[in-house]
Structure 1
Amino acid sequence: MPADTAADERHARIALSRILEPGDETTGRWLRTYGATGLLHHLTHEDTALPGVTPKRLAGLRHRAITTHPETDLHTLHATGARFLIPTDPEWPGQLHDLGDTRPIGLWVRGNADLRIWALRSVAVVGARACTEYGAHMAARIAAGLAEHGWVVVSGGAYGIDGAAHRATLAAGGATAAVLANGVDTAYPRGHTGLLQRIAQQGLLVAELPPGAHPTAYRFIQRNRIIAALTRGTLVIEAAHRSGALVTARNAARLGRHTLGVPGPATSSQSAGVHQLLRGEATLVTDAAEVIELIGEMGQLAPERRGPVVPRDLLKPLPARVLAALPAARPAPVAAIATDAATTTDDTIASLYELQSLGFVERHGDNWKLTRQSARNDFPRREDKREDT
């Protein structure tokens, strides 16, 4: 694209980002059909028609168009150290094209990192704003683990799970990006002003809305599609049935991304939405290693989970059966042990001496019994219903 045409395209998209609401398929089709400069011309000239909207809505868009001043946005952009990305820029994340006609018009970005490079190795961590201590702990634990393995943690900068994930990533010296439902020059929520400033300095703030734009319920929902599209997978930690985090997860599933969930208490309403996901499209995970196993490269497997290895786990099958046949309360004769172990007397005697050398059993005359340590630590045994002979 020639330099002057590229400048016109960027200028038009800056204007359109203030005129059009994010995620609208109708205006997205216009943009695909007419291009950015052509669509801006249609919106600023009343003698041209645009299909698919009512005259009232079109009049509202045209009013926005004639009152928009991209130069002011550019001035604000430079004053805050931000930049405006368009789809032809090298830094534009290619996976956003998966959104089709709901693809962002452009992205306002604050921070020094390359958004395209970061997005290639990123995972979304989202969840409830009013999270529990358990939820905040799990978000911090998993986010820090992801950061230590070189993954970028993407979230929405909100209270609760978002904030816990961002803070833990920064504390671990990792990379984090916040995708906002407002302008990158506006701190929202206000209680996260310091956190968002740290993210702008050490990570990335990303928004499709222009400087000064304020969030609305609609814009929060539309923001979630960008979080889902940017990342390789979306992890949900605590979400009620009507949580916006579920919207992000379902967007991720529709886009062919991994959808993951951390289970909570079965009685917790804050985890009810996560549990619903886990019954369908989401995969259960409990730590960063399990997340990486799903979204990482082939062979990045989580460590095998198992309980502690105890001495009896190392026994061969026959000595293990003989050991299990010994009663708990009193010494037993070899014949009785052999019967319960379903083996011969000779094999039982050989196994008992092996078990004695390992400290599991001890001999009392012609009978055998568990050592005190083995009786205390070994698995539950049958009750002795037999009188000694």
Structure 2
Amino acid sequence: MTRPDDLEPDHLEPEVLEPDDLDPKEPDPDDQGREEDRWARAVLATVAEPGDRALHELVARVGGARALAALRTGHAADSVPAALRYRARIGLADPVALHELTVRAGARLVVPTDAEWPAGLDLLGGLAGAVSAPPLALWVRGTHRLADAQPRVVVAVVGARAATTYGCDVASSIAYELAERGVVVVSGAAYGIDGAAHRAALAAGGTTVAVLASGVDRAYPVGHEALLERIAAQGAVVSEAPPGRHPSRARFLTRNRIIAAMSAGVVVVEAALRSGALNTAHWATQLSTHVMAVPGPVTSAMSAGPHRAVIDRGASLVTDAADVLELVSPVGVGTQAMRRGEERPRDHLPADAVALLEALPARAAREAGQLAVAAGLSVDAAIGALGLLAADRWVERAEAGWRRVPRRG
């Protein structure tokens, strides 16, 4: 297998590269070609803006190594609007150094041809928008291999950083029960709802994945450094940014598309009207992924986001993990019986008997004929129903007719 040390610029570039050469080619079957493509993608992910659709389309046509060569020589300018800007950065992105950074971070590079690549990310390729393309590569740190999640249900639980106690409690409860049932819980490792979801999944002994806007070796927020270490030990920390990269506002928003694309559903627990959680819900809507919202007090600013998600995006209201599983599980799996209130003894009475019982005053007696008229029954049906009610001690015969048995509901 070729080491990144062999991936010098001359090795990545063909001797003569003309624009006409940028036609689709069959992928190189040997290991050397695959490694060239892998680390070329790493370089491109380092120098390019996340989600650049034009660059993604070029890589999809000609492969990572040839796309990188086209950027180096200037031949990609016509197909990639940001090519000149990226070309200026390429000299700062050395594949050997990237490999060393990856090893030092205890991470691995995952590309679309790897079995570990989450298939849902490829759905981003079908979206419109200049920054909506799938990642060129992912850096993953942790024991959990992303491919392990594919046969299992993956659910994102996201929400406000400035979450309320109510929001954190609900997020914890949902994430804990999901993790107990084998669901992989994905979130963004932020304070508030994200942190509550990750901690609950870990407490349940389940698997959780944190998708960062920084490199996988950069704890952000810093206060979650210990939490991210626990996630890596029991799940995975993921980023499309290379190790060492600090987060930026733009990367937080583009990071959300990865969370949505990796998941079968997105649960918004609490969120302001303008928030990253609603941005994640927006990506999920575009991907036709289930969007779910936890209701809250109408007086709470942190519940305004979920409520608007219901109104504007058709999000499904959920209150617990059972609701979530019913929506995201395969057909026939994870369904639950219709929920009802507490059962009462009269719930099991025939309809005629219930009608008679409701027609009978609480403290007065009535003759069978009067009750039949009040209940809309024939006299024979009323007499039969009264006999059933009497046998079960709902009613009793009195001098003035039939009356309720005292102290029965």
| TM-score, with length taken from structure 2 | 0.85
Q: CA deviation at 1:104?
A: 0.6
Which amino acid is the alignment partner of residue 78 of structure 2? P
Aligned to 2:385: 351
Gaps of 5+ in 1: 378-389
Q: Which amino acid aligns with 1:205?
A: V
Number of equivalenced pairs? 372
Whether the aligned pair in 1 keeps the contact of 2:365 and 2:400 (CA below 8 Å) is no
Aligned equivalent of 2:327: 294
User: 1:25 is matched with which residue: 53, 66, 72?
Assistant: 53
Q: Does 1:50 align with 2:77?
A: yes
1:63 aligns with 2:88: yes
Letter in 1 for 2:327: L
Amino acid aligned to 1:32: A
- Shift of the alpha carbon at 1:256? 2.3
Name the CA shift for 1:232/1:350 in 2 (closer, same or farther; >3 Å): closer
Q: String of CA shifts for 1:225-257, please: whole Å, max 9, x gaps.
A: 111111112121112221111221121121222
Question: Please, which moves more after superposition, 127-136 or 113-122?
Answer: 113-122
Q: Does structure 2 conserve the Cα–Cα contact (< 8 Å) formed by 1:234 and 1:257?
A: yes
Residue identity in the other structure for 1:76: L
Task: Specify the code of the residue in structure 2 equivalent to 1:314.
Answer: H
CA shift digits 1:106-155 (9 cap, x unpaired): 00001122212214421111111111122112111111121122111111
Per the alignment, residue 80 of structure 1 pairs with 105
* Larger deviation, residues 140-149 vs 171-180: 140-149
Q: Identify which of 201, 220, 239 aligns with 1:207.
A: 239
Report SS of the residue matched to 1:102. coil
| Structure 1 Cα separation of the partners of residues 348 and 190 of structure 2 | 51
Counterpart CA distance in 1 for 2:200 and 2:75 is 52
Question: What residue in structure 1 maps to residue 193 of structure 2?
Answer: 161
Root-mean-square deviation (CA, aligned residues, Å) is 2.0
C-alpha distance in 1 between matches for 2:86 and 2:232: 32
Aligned to 1:274: 306
**Residue 363 of structure 2 is aligned to residue 363 of structure 1:** no
Whole-angstrom distance in 2 between the partners of 1:8 and 1:60: 23
Match of 1:196 among 228, 241, 249: 228
Equivalent positions of 1:208-357 (< 5 A) are: 208-279=240-311, 280-300=313-333, 301-357=335-391
CA, structure 1 residues 351+97, in 2 after alignment: closer, same or farther (shift >3 Å)? Answer: closer
Aligned match of 2:41: 13
* AA at the equivalent of 2:324: V
Displacement after TM superposition at 1:346 (Å):
5.0
Decide whether the 8 Å contact of 1:119 with 1:231 is kept in 2. no
Instruction: Compare 18-27 and 324-333 and name the one that shifted more.
Output: 324-333
Residue identity matched to 2:67: L
User: Which residue, out of 108, 115, 124, partners 2:146?
Assistant: 115
* Unaligned 5+ runs, structure 2: 1-28, 126-131
1:174 is displaced (CA, Å) by: 0.8
Deviation at 1:205, TM superposition (A): 0.5
CA shift, 1:303, in A, is 2.5
Kept in 2: contact 1:119–1:152 (CA 8 A): no
In the TM superposition, what whole-angstrom CA distance separates every residue of 1:261-282 from its partner, at most 9, and x where no partner exists? 2222233221222222212332
- Does the Cα contact within 8 Å between 1:91 and 1:114 map onto a contact in 2? yes
Structure 2 equivalent of residue 384 of structure 1: none
Q: Percent identity?
A: 45
Is the Cα contact below 8 Å between 2:174 and 2:321 reproduced in 1? yes
TM-score, normalisation: structure 1: 0.89
Partner Cα separation in structure 1 for residue 376 and residue 192 of structure 2: 59
How much has 1:71 moved relative to structure 2? 2.1
Cα distance, 1:198 vs structure 2: 0.2
Structure 1, residues 300-358: CA drift from partner, whole Å, max 9, x if none?
21222111221111111222221111112333344433331233445434433432221
* Partner SS state of residue 359, structure 1: coil
Answer yes or no: is the 8 Å Cα contact 1:120–1:231 preserved in 2. no
- Residues 161 and 21 of structure 1: is their aligned pair in 2 closer, same or farther, counting only changes over 3 Å? same
Q: In structure 1, how many angstroms separate the alpha carbons of the residues matched to 2:342 and 2:68?
A: 67
Following the alignment from structure 2 to structure 1, what is the Cα–Cα distance between the partners of residues 207 and 76?
Answer: 46
Deviations 1:9-65 (A, max 9, x none): 1221221221112112233233334432223223334x54512667xx655422321
Give the aligned residue type for 2:249: A
SS in 1 for 2:407: helix
Q: How far does residue 368 in structure 1 lie from its aligned partner after superposition?
A: 2.7
Q: How does 1:366-381 map to 2 (within 5 A)?
A: 366-374=400-408, 377=409
- Which residue identity is paired with 2:37? E
Give SS of 2:35's match.
Answer: helix
Q: Mean Cα displacement is larger for which, 172-181 or 75-84?
A: 75-84
